[in-house]
Amino acid sequence: MISAGIGPVTIKTMEKAMLGDFIGALEFYIGTLTVDIFYILLIIFGVSTFTQSITFRVVFGVFGILFLLYLGIGDIKDFFTKNLYFKKTTANKKSKNFIKTFFTGFMVNIANPMAAVAWIAFYSAASGDIQGNPWLFIPTQIGGLLLGFFVITIGFFLKKIMSEKVIRYVSLASGIALISFCVMFGFNLLVLLRN
C-alpha cells in the first residue's frame, strides 16, 4: 500500500465494504497489509533480490493471474445472482470467520504481482535513507492503514444509500476490473518471458 492507486486490493476492499460489513472489510484489508509487511521484511533482511528473479516473477505472475481471474469471474457471477444484497449481508452476519476473511485479503495482495515490484521500487528510491533505519517503513504502513479505513468507510456509507440494482452493478464492475488486471498482468508476463 505504498500508493493510493486503484488496483485489485482497493477494488476488493471497497467491494467487501459495500457488499459486506465494516469489520469484515477491515479484516480483509489487514490481510492485505500483512503481505506488505512480508515484503518489507524481505527488503530489511536483504532477500529482495529473490523477488526480482525471473522464476519468482513468473510463478507469482501466473498464480496472481489465475487467482484474480477466479475472483473476477465470481464477481461477475454475483451480478446474475438473485437477491445479491440479501445473500451477501446474511452471509456476512452468519459467518464471522476472521481467518477466512484475513486469508482472502492476504491472497489478493500476494496474487497482485505489482505489490512486490512496487515495494522493490520504493526500496530502490529510498535505499540510502532506509539502510540502518528500517523504522522508516512504519509511516508507509500507517498511511496504508489510514487509506484502508478511508476506502472501507466510503464503501460502507455508499452501501447505505444504494439500491440492490446498483450494488449488483458494483459487483459486475469489480469483476470486469479484476479481469482487466489479469489481462494487463498477463501481457506484462509475456513481455518478461520474451526478454
The pLDDT-based confidence of 90 (bands split at 50, 70, 90) is very low
Exposure on the CB side of residue 176, measured as CA atoms within 13 A: 7
Say if residue 4's pLDDT is above 70.
no
Q: What is the pLDDT of residues 31-50, one digit of tens each?
A: 998 988 887 777 777 665 66
Give the separation between CA 122 and CA 134, rounded to whole angstroms. 13
45 phi/psi in degrees, rounded to 5: -90, 10
Instruction: Identify the pLDDT of residue 61.
Output: 79
Query: Per the structure block, which three cell numbers stand in for 175?
Result: 469483476
Q: What is the pLDDT of residues 97-133, one digit of tens each?
A: 888 889 988 988 888 777 766 666 666 555 555 555 6
| Percentage, residues of the chain above pLDDT 70 | 73
Cβ neighbors of 174 (< 8 A, separation 6 or more) are: 11, 12, 14, 15, 72, 75
Instruction: Identify the pLDDT of residue 136.
Output: 66
Give the separation between CA 102 and CA 32, rounded to whole angstroms. 8
| Percentage, residues of the chain above pLDDT 90 | 5
CB atoms within 10 A of CB 127: 10
Query: Per the structure block, which three cell numbers stand in for 68?
Result: 484474480
